[in-house]
Amino acid sequence: MTAVADQPVVEIGSPRLRKEDERLVTGRTRWTDNIQLPGMLHLAMVRSPFAHARVTSIDTEAATAAPGVVAVITGADIAATQGAIANAWPITADQVTPTHLPMVLEHVACVGEIVAAVVARSAAAARDAAELVDVDYEELTAVVDLKVAADDGVLAHPDLGTNRSALWRLDSAEQGSGGNVEEAIAAARAGGILIEREYRQQRLIPAFMEPRSTVVDPTGEQVTVWTSTQVPHILRFLIAATTGIPESKVRVIAPDVGGGFGGKLQTTPEEFVTLAAARRVRKPVKYTETRSESLVSGHHGRDQWQKLTLSATKDGTVTGLKVELLVNLGAYVALIGGGIPVLGAWMYNSIYKFPAYQFNCQTVLTNLPWVDAYRGAGRPEATFAIERIMDELAAEVGVDPLVVREKNWITHEEFPFTSVAGMTYDSGNYEAATARAKELFGYDELRAEQQQRRDAGDPVQLGIGVSTFTEMCGLAPSRVLGSLNYGAGGWENASIRMLATGKVEVITGTSPHGQGHETAWSQIVADRLGVPFEDVEVLHGDTQISPRGLDTYGSRSLVVGGEAVVRAADKVVEKAKVAAAHLLEANADDLEFTGGRFGVKGTDKGIGIADIATAAFTSHSWPEGVEPSIDAEATFDPVNFSFPHGTHLCAMEVDTETGATTMRKYACVDDIGQIINPLIVEGQVHGGLVQGIAQALWEEAVFDDNGTLVSGSFVDYTLPTTADTINFLTDNTTSLATSNTLGTKGVGEAGTIASTPAVVNAVVDAVRHLGINDIRMPLTPERVWRAIQDAEHGSQTPPTAQAQPHFEGDGAQGNQDSGSTGGGQA
C-alpha cells in the first residue's frame, strides 16, 4: 500500500489493452442464457404469424397436457399483472399512441406478437408444447407500406381512427434561429439552384450477436431480473411504473451483454412476459429467443422517406433547407420510437451555415414490427440525406463535392457557433479533419485515376464519396429533454469506494455491453486518483450495486458518465485532503495532491491516498468530527450536447457491366475531442463503419404484402463478413469539447453515421456520368445494374424495393475480393 512506489504513467490517451478481455477470450463469461438457478423453468412464446388479426380463441389443452409443462399462459391470465410497454417520449401533446401490451389480449398489430406462452421443465419441452397451443385468428387487412398507411385507407389500429401518430416541426423563422425557408426556396426558384430529392432509409435490424435472454427469479424478498439489456435502470423503473411492483422490490441485472447498438435500448414484451410467468408459477423462469424470433420481435431501425428541398445561389452557397420526413413507427410507438427521427431535427443542417431551415416529421403507424433506436438513431438518416444532397449541389454547380462543402461549412474561427436549428456547437475544426482525411486517402491521386478510367471508357469505373458530418452526443441535458417532453432526465451517476486494502471500486450508472468501460473508466480514475490502473475495479449493470443510473446509449457513457466518475474522484480527493492534513499534522492549504500522494509543500512529508483509505478503515486516528470515509458519489447533468465531427472518404469500384461494387479504399478522420483509449476508439470506429457500410450495400428488412418478414434469418438478412469488408484508414484530429472536464465528445456512433452516405456518394459518383443521380439502398449489384440499364434507356426511375437475392449474385458475393484491393492500416 505504498502509493508512491508504483505510480502509473499517464493513463488517459494510452492504448491500454482491455481488462474485459481475459474472461471473454477464455469463455469465462456470464451471458444471461448461461444462468442456471435451482428449480428453474423455461419459457417458450407462441407468436402471431399474422401482421394484423384478432385472436378469437386459444385452446391450451393439448399443450397443458404435454410432458414437463408446468403452465400455459394467455393474455387473459396475466392481464392484471403483466404491465405495459411504455413510450417514454410522446413527441407532441396529441400524439396517437396505441396501448402496447407485452402479451396481446385480442388485437394483434404486427407479426411476431406474443399471444401465449408455455412454461416447462426444459427449453425443448416448452418449445414442443408451444407448437400444440391452438390459436384461432380472424385475419384483418394489414397496412404495410408507409405511404399507403399515411393516407389512412387501411388502419393499423382500427380503434384509433388514424395511422398518423404525430407531426413535429422545427422552423428557423418561427423559433428565431434563422430565416424563412419558403422565401429562400422562392428566391432560388426564380434565379438560383433548387434541388429536390426524395431518399429512402430502408428498414434495418440491429442484429446484435447475443440473442436476447431474460431470467426472472421471484424467490426471496425481491424479484431479480437478469436480462440482456442496455438499460437495466430504465427497465427497473418501468417494471415498477407499469406492474405496480414497488421499485424497491425489483432488482435488474445486466450481466455480460453481447452487443446492443440500440437494439437492447428497450423494455421488451419478452421481459415483461417472463416476469409475469415467473410470478405466476412462483419459480425462476428463463426465456431465450431464437435468432428468428430476435429478427422479427426485436425492434427495427430507420424506415423513413425523406423529402429534401435545398435552395442555393448559383455559386453553390446554400440559402435554405426544407426537410419533410415520413416515418414508419411500426405497430407501436416504442420506448423512444417517435423521438428517434426528431433527434435528426438538429442535424440536417449538419456542419453548414444555412440561413433558413425547416424540419417536418410525420410519424405513422403500420402493421410492421415497431421501430426504435439503432446505432446513430435519427442522426444517420439526417447525415445521409444532407450529404447526398450536398453532392447533388456540387454536381449542379460543377465543382468537387469538397468545394461546395467548404463554401458552406462553419470555419474553425467561428466556434462556438449557434446553428440554424438553434443548437450551439462548442468546438470543431472541419478544415483540419478534411485536410488530414484527404492526405490519408490520397484524394488527388484517386481523382486522377477516376478521370483516367472515365476517359478510357473502363467498364470498371471508380467513384469517390465524401461525407463530412457532425452529430450531437452526450445525451443529454435534462432541461433540454424536459422541453422536448422526454420522460426522463439525462444525468449520470458514479460513486467511488476506497477500500481498506487500497483497491478502488468505481460504480457507474452506465451499462456497457462491449464498449470497454471497465478499461476506460479505470484509466480515468487511475489518473485522477494516482492509483495503479490494475487496482481499479469498475462495477456496473446491477441496480442493487449501481442504484442510480440512466444506462448506455446515444454516445453518452463517457461524455456524461465519465464526467460523473471524474467528479466523484475529485470529491474523494477533497475528503482525503482533510484526513491527510490531520495525519500529516499540516495545514490543508499547504498540501498538494500529485500522483496519488498528498505532500506538504516544501518538505518530503506526504501520505498516499491508499494509506488514507486504510486510515479511514481503522479510524484509529481519524480527525474528530469528520466522518470516517473518503468514499464519494457524484451525479452529473450536462449543460450542452457534445458535437463530434469528421470527414470520411470512400472509393468504390463499380463494374458497369454487372453492377457489382467493390470497396477500394476508406479513410476517415474523426474529431471526438479528448481520447481516453485510442485502441478502443479505433475499434468503435471500425465497427461503426461496417454497420453504416452495411446499410449502404447489404442490409434490408424485407416484408411481403401481408407484413411477414421475408428476411427473417441470417440466411436472408445479410450481415457483412470478413470476406465482404476491407481494412480501414483511420485517424483523429482533436478539438476539445467544452461540456465536460475531460473534453470528450463520444465515438460510439460516428462511424455508422458518417459511412453510409460516403459509400452511396461513391457509387453514384462512379456512374453519374451515365446520367444517374441516385440508387436506392441497399446498393445490391442488381439495383446498380438496373440503374445503369435504366439510364441507358432514358429512364432514371429508381428500382422498386425488392428482397435481396441470396445464394447467387448477391451483394456479399460481389464484394468477396474487396480485401485484396484495400489499403493497409495506417
Partner 1 sequence: MAKISVKVDGVAYSDDVEPRTLLVHYLRETLGKVGTVVGCDTSNCGACTVHLDGRSVKSCNVLAVQADGHEVTTIEGLADGDTLHPVQQAFHECHALQCGYCTPGMIMQATSFLADNPTPTEDEVRVGMEGNLCRCTGYHNIVKAVMAAAGEGGGAK
d(CA 163, CA 52) in angstroms, rounded, equals 14
Judge contact between 342 and 90, C-beta under 8 A: no
**Bridge partner residues of 359 (DSSP):** 170, 323
**Segment 96 to 155, residues that bind partner 1, using CB under 8 A:** 122, 124
Judge contact between 495 and 633, C-beta under 8 A: yes
**Segment 774 to 813, residues that bind partner 1, using CB under 8 A:** none
Helix (H) or strand (E) holding 128: helix 123-130
Pick from 453, 582, 686, 806 the residue near partner 1 by CB under 8 A: 686
Non-local (6+) Cβ contacts of 102 within 8 A are 82, 83, 84, 85, 114, 268, 269, 270, 271, 272, 273, 276
Helix (H) or strand (E) holding 281: helix 269-281
d(CA 762, CA 771) in angstroms, rounded, equals 15
Nearer to partner 1, 292 or 635 (CB): 292
Sign of dihedral through CA atoms 709, 713, 714, 716? negative
Nearer to partner 1, 684 or 708 (CB): 684
Pick from 262, 516, 673, 707 the residue near partner 1 by CB under 8 A: 516
**Bridge partner residues of 82 (DSSP):** none
Choices 567-575, 594-602, 676-684, 778-786; region in contact with partner 1 by CB under 8 A:
676-684
- For residue 424, state whether it binds partner 1 (rule: CB under 8 A): no
Three-state secondary structure call for residue 173: helix
Q: Nearest approach, Cβ of 513 to partner 1 (angstroms)?
A: 6
Pick from 210, 372, 426, 749 the residue near partner 1 by CB under 8 A: 210
Pick from 621, 722, 797, 800 the residue near partner 1 by CB under 8 A: 722
Site string for partner 1, 23-52 (x = CB under 8 A): -xxxxxx-x-xx-x----------------
Pick from 689, 750, 753, 758 the residue near partner 1 by CB under 8 A: 689
**Bridge partner residues of 327 (DSSP):** 304, 363
- For residue 411, state whether it binds partner 1 (rule: CB under 8 A): no
Nearer to partner 1, 124 or 803 (CB): 124
Pairing of β 357-365 and β 661-671: unpaired
Q: Nearest approach, Cβ of 151 to partner 1 (angstroms)?
A: 37
d(CA 272, CA 218) in angstroms, rounded, equals 13
Choices 81-89, 203-211, 776-784, 790-798; region in contact with partner 1 by CB under 8 A:
203-211
Pick from 47, 100, 299, 513 the residue near partner 1 by CB under 8 A: 513
d(CA 284, CA 286) in angstroms, rounded, equals 7
Pick from 209, 455, 604, 808 the residue near partner 1 by CB under 8 A: 209
Pick from 1, 13, 21, 67 the residue near partner 1 by CB under 8 A: 21
Nearer to partner 1, 33 or 391 (CB): 33
Pick from 683, 771, 809, 823 the residue near partner 1 by CB under 8 A: 683
Choices 22-30, 324-332, 527-535, 767-775; region in contact with partner 1 by CB under 8 A:
22-30
CA distances from residue 756 to 377, 531, 778 in whole angstroms, order as listed: 13, 42, 10
- For residue 93, state whether it binds partner 1 (rule: CB under 8 A): no
Site string for partner 1, 221-260 (x = CB under 8 A): -----------------------------------xxxx-
Helices and strands of the chain, counted as H and E runs: 23, 28
d(CA 185, CA 195) in angstroms, rounded, equals 10
Judge contact between 623 and 579, C-beta under 8 A: yes
Q: Which of 649, 652, 592, 642 shows the shortest CA–CA distance to 749?
A: 642
Q: Nearest approach, Cβ of 86 to partner 1 (angstroms)?
A: 26
Pairing of β 285-288 and β 250-253: unpaired
Positions touching partner 1 (CB under 8 A) are: 17-18, 20-22, 24-29, 31, 33-34, 36, 122, 124, 207-211, 256-259, 261, 290-292, 513-516, 679-680, 682-684, 686-691, 713-715, 719-723, 725, 727-728, 751, 816-817, 819-820, 825
